[in-house]
Structure 1
Amino acid sequence: MVIPDAVESDPDLKHRGLRRRHGGLHDSPAEEESSGSEEEVVKESSSDECNGKSVNLNGGEKEQGSDVPAVEFIYRASFPAHRRIKESPLSSDTIFRQSHAGLFNLCVVVLVSVNSRLIIENLMKYGWLIEFGFWFSLTSLRDWPLFMCCLTLAIFPLAAFFVEKLAQRKYISETVVVLLHIIITTTTLLYPVLVILRCDSAFVFGVALMLFACIVWLKLVSYAHTNYDLRAISKSTEKGEAVTSTLNIDYTYDVSFKSLVYFTVAPTLCYQPSYPRTPSIRKGWLLRQIVKLIIFTGVMGFIIEQYINPIVQNSQHPLKGNLLYAMERILKLSIPNLYVWFCMFYCFFHLWLNILAELLRFGDREFYKDWWNAKNVGDYWRLWNMPVHKWMIRHLYFPCLRNGIPKGVALLIAFLVSALFHELCIAVPCHIFKWWAFIGIMFQVPVVLITNYVQNKFQNSMVGNMTFWFTFCILGQPMCVLLYYHDLMNREGKVG
């Protein structure tokens, strides 16, 4: 709406909150700055246009387009201050329709100040607690078997490649191909498990080796499954059967060693002969991400050594002690554990995978979605780890549906596979098989149902989101940390 030029006709009006504008220009820059709020009032309230007419100085009307200058009143006593129905900025109907940057800045300032005080208090109480013996053992050779095992895992993708080459040249039958791939993938997991159990290795090296072995296993399954499907399409094409696709995808079956090598190191678990590629490597951007990775990895280690270790060392077994004391320990542990989990997510899913993608010019970098907005636990599992989610959908969930398995059972199978891998990655390095990680992941199935019910019951995304944060981060993760810590200490005879 255009604001007509204001003309001051009475000197006394200066003292009544009026201002003058000739040709849209203010008398001075200071007057222009001070009158900003008044102009907003003018835009919202002063020029009530109705049936092609506007209000003039004396409350009369003037025709639009006339040469008589319009005079607007601002802050006149008779001017209505309340003219529309409006909601408060923090009401539920308007809270998400405006910026809350100031409140976000306040939260950041409060977090920095509170955590700075906690750091100082912790250092005064415990001193410098960081010790690297639990994480690394550079003074001994006990972790070299794990390092050698990690290097020799490259044999299994090479074996899978030779199997696919033999299948492409039709030297072996399809049944033999499937059997050989089962042997290769099974050995990929059993080999590092046996090495870790036979060696008294540092915890972090054991976890790293098991994670690497699980990644290789997932990649090999995708490699075998995708080539199996491409062979089936190739055979159908040879028989004259047309393969229909609306996505213009090339289904050419070609076993390439170069494609396998790129897939082995690429930040994805789903094999395909070619991937979208970026035009070049941004060296400056890459250097900044590496610096961030070093910084946040150090922050994560500092929080673990300086905060989490003293809390768990001064705690009792959560299932064998006083209930209120156990809840107090869990809630006290939840905050530093949440910080470590955020650092882990940022370091691995954002920094490391993007660094790897930049080095390989890998184009699809949707490694995660906005899982922090998850309305329930089910949304979280679909959003937070996109490489694993895409693998589950492509090689497990939809194949189950195509074979007539109901959706609920297919979902349960997906959680079962995830639970087994979580148990392997934690229990094997700890040399403890209490199945806490397995139970924790399988417990997500009823939690998904509960959070879905809460979301549907209240029809409010905030309720479901807060339920997710409480059940998954505040309660679940600290409980698992305490369980594994005390079982590990009991195994080593350090706790009675």
Structure 2
Amino acid sequence: NGGSDGDPQQRQQRQQELLWYRASAPAHRRVRESPLSSDAIFRQSHAGLLNLCIVVLIAVNSRLIIENLMKYGLLIRAGFWFSGRSLADWPLLMCCLTLPIFPLAALMAEKLAQRKLISEHVVILLHIVITTSVLVYPVVVILKCDSAVLSGFVLMFLASIIWLKLVSFAHTNYDIRMLSKSIEKGMTHGISIDPENIKCPTFKRLAYFMLAPTLCYQPSYPRTTYIRKGWVVRQLIKCLVFTGLMGFIIEQYINPIVKNSKHPLKGNFLNAIERVLKLSVPTLYVWLCMFYCFFHLWLNILAELLCFGDREFYKDWWNAKTVEEYWRMWNMPVHKWIIRHIYFPCIRNGLFKGVAILISFLVSAALHELCVAVPCHIFKFWAFIGIMFQITHIYFGRQGKKKSITGRTSNT
């Protein structure tokens, strides 16, 4: 019976297919948009176009690499990584090795406050002296020594990270002490407080915090259960490869362009613009390699070795529609630190949001200026002005977003 029921159905299906094959069968049956039209483009998959762009990008850059090698030869040398001048930077190395003294001093101040041997005003004063010294000390060493720019930058970068961590350590523990006093007085009735987050600082907690890939101190962090050793090795290899790629781009492309460029105020203005545009592409590649090496590879390696669970070191900043979104997404450790220790305290103290944003950018601009100006021994405030100029970008970005009709603005 099953076969006899199936035969009419199969015959009907074949007849229907024959109708579709006839020349009189309609070719247009419903209203449809072109794939690239404004109404349909955001509903389409663009994976093929992305693959085409990658192929074109590889082809274009391969030609540029061959052309550069034919013109200059292989310029990268061992001195890029280590040179005789590096041996003269031993004062910077000694300064770097003595930086852990400041976190220990901060811990001692907290221990004295915990035992109520000193008042809150004295604790705050001690933390101000400690955090100020952690920046002044390397600045003095770098300015006194004729060190390489890269060595000075690494030292200032480490000192800035320690400064950010110590500010968070002092601010968080002060808030924990105030919260503990409120609990003792019964002023937190009905508020859920995790006991793990109000524990007193210990050497173990401080050491973990100083090594962890975060700038915000808390007594306990979300942790993973084990270390993936093979994964760590693969990430280290990637880190070495991309670091070498950065060195290759700097030595092979950026340095020759800079050396062959005239002073922008002495030469032709159009030539200056051409040189800047020529520098923009390799500089962008170096920045992307740096971002991938540090924020993805290195911070994830540290997190894996320390079983640090929260690994949101960046968000999809490449989809940011405004400068404001970009600044909130590309560097999450610094963003969380600024929100927690600058922006929110300003709001709690009654300041307007605009003033809080201005103060946040002032702190960021000052740190950027230190990290750039001190190693280069050039105090022109270019980094400071560049960061502060982002405030105008944020303002106009907000205005453009309000006036946007479709809500689709281009990526930053």
Provide TM-score, normalisation by structure 1: 0.78
Q: Secondary structure at the match of 1:73?
A: helix
C-alpha distance after superposition, 1:37-79 (max 9, x if no partner): xxxxxxxxxxxxxxxxxxxx5xxxxxxxxxxxx7773233333
1:354 to 293, 300, 314: 300
User: Partners in 2 of 1:284 and 1:379 — Cα distance?
Assistant: 35
Given candidates 28, 42, 60, the residue that maps to 1:96 is 42
Say if 1:132 and 1:461 are closer, same or farther in 2 by CA, change over 3 A: farther
Query: 1:350 is paired with a residue of what secondary structure?
Result: helix
Q: Secondary structure at the match of 1:278?
A: coil
How big is each residue's C-alpha offset from its partner over 1:84-112, in whole Å with a ceiling of 9 and x where there is no partner?
22111112222222221111111111111
Shift of 1:461: 6.0
Task: Say whether the 8 Å CA contact 1:270–1:391 is kept in structure 2.
Answer: yes
Aligned residues: 406
Give the AA of the match of 2:104. L
- Say if 1:355 and 1:412 are closer, same or farther in 2 by CA, change over 3 A: same
1:417–1:325 distance in 2 versus 1, CA, 3 Å: same
Deviation at 1:141, TM superposition (A): 2.5
How far apart in 1 are the matches of 2:267 and 2:18? 75
Q: Is residue 2:2 matched to residue 1:80? A: no
Aligned to 1:337: 283
* C-alpha separation in 2, matches of 1:428 and 1:249: 43
**How far did 1:245 drift?**
3.8
Matches of 2:209 and 2:327, distance apart in 1: 24
After the TM superposition, which residues 237-316 of structure 1 pair with which residues of structure 2 at under 5 Å, given as runs?
Answer: 237-242=183-188, 244-245=190-191, 248=194, 250-316=196-262
Q: Which residue of 1 aligns with 2:4?
A: none
Distance (whole Å) between structure 2 residues aligned to residue 447 and residue 278 of structure 1: 40
Partner in structure 2 of residue 494 of structure 1: none
Residues 325 and 269 of structure 1, relative CA distance in 2, 3 Å threshold: same
Q: In 2, distance between residues paired with 1:242 and 1:5?
A: 78
Structure 1 counterpart of 2:398: 452
1:230 to 1:431, Cα distance in 2 relative to 1, 3 A: same
From 149, 152, 155, give the equivalent of 1:206. 152
Q: Cα distance 1:139–1:406, how it changes in 2: closer, same or farther (>3 A)? A: closer
Query: Does structure 1 conserve the Cα–Cα contact (< 8 Å) formed by 2:215 and 2:333?
Result: yes
**How far is the alpha carbon of 1:163 from its aligned partner?**
0.3
Question: Which secondary structure does the structure 1 equivalent of 2:230 belong to?
Answer: helix
Aligned residues: percent identity?
Answer: 68
Determine if the alignment matches structure 1 residue 118 to structure 2 residue 83.
no
> For residues 132 and 423 of structure 1, do their structure 2 counterparts lie closer, same or farther at Cα, with a shift above 3 Å needed?
farther
Q: Gaps spanning 5+ residues in structure 2: where? A: 1-6
Letter in 2 for 1:298: G
Q: What are the superposed Cα offsets for residues 241-300 of structure 1, whole Å, 9 maximum, x if unpaired? A: 225545756443312111000000000000000100011000111111001000000001
CA RMSD of aligned residues (A): 2.1
Aligned 8 A contact 1:129 1:305 in 2: yes
Distance 2:8 2:275 in 1: 68
Q: Any conservation in 2 of the 1:218–1:269 contact (CA below 8 Å)?
A: yes
Q: Which residue of 1 aligns with 2:139?
A: 193
Partner of 2:3: none
CA contact (8 A) 2:242 2:289 kept: yes
SS at match of 2:187: coil
Establish whether residue 109 from structure 1 lines up as the match of residue 60 from structure 2.
Answer: no
2:89 to 143, 146, 150: 143
Say if 2:76 and 2:248, in contact at 8 Å, map to a contact too: yes
Deviates more, 1:318-327 or 1:141-150: 318-327
**TM-score, normalised by the number of residues in structure 2:** 0.93
What secondary structure is seen at the aligned counterpart in 2 of 1:347? Answer: helix
Which residue is 1:369 aligned to? 315
Q: Distance in 2 between matches of 1:154 and 1:218?
A: 14
- Secondary structure class of the residue paired with 1:74: helix
Deviant stretches of 4+, over 6 Å: none
Taking a change above 3 Å as real, the CA distance of residues 460 and 415 of structure 1, as seen in their structure-2 partners, is: farther
Within the candidate set 362, 372, 376, 1:430 is matched to 376
Q: How far, CA to CA, are the matches of 2:408 and 2:73 in structure 1?
A: 40
| Cα pair 1:233 1:251 within 8 Å, conserved | no
Give secondary structure in 2 for the equivalent of 1:228: helix
Q: Distance in 2 between matches of 1:243 and 1:296?
A: 53
Tell me if the contact between 1:349 and 1:368 (Cα under 8 Å) persists in the aligned partners: yes
Q: Which of the two has higher C-alpha Rg?
A: 1
The answer on 1:441 being equivalent to 2:387 is: yes
3-state DSSP of counterpart to 1:216: helix
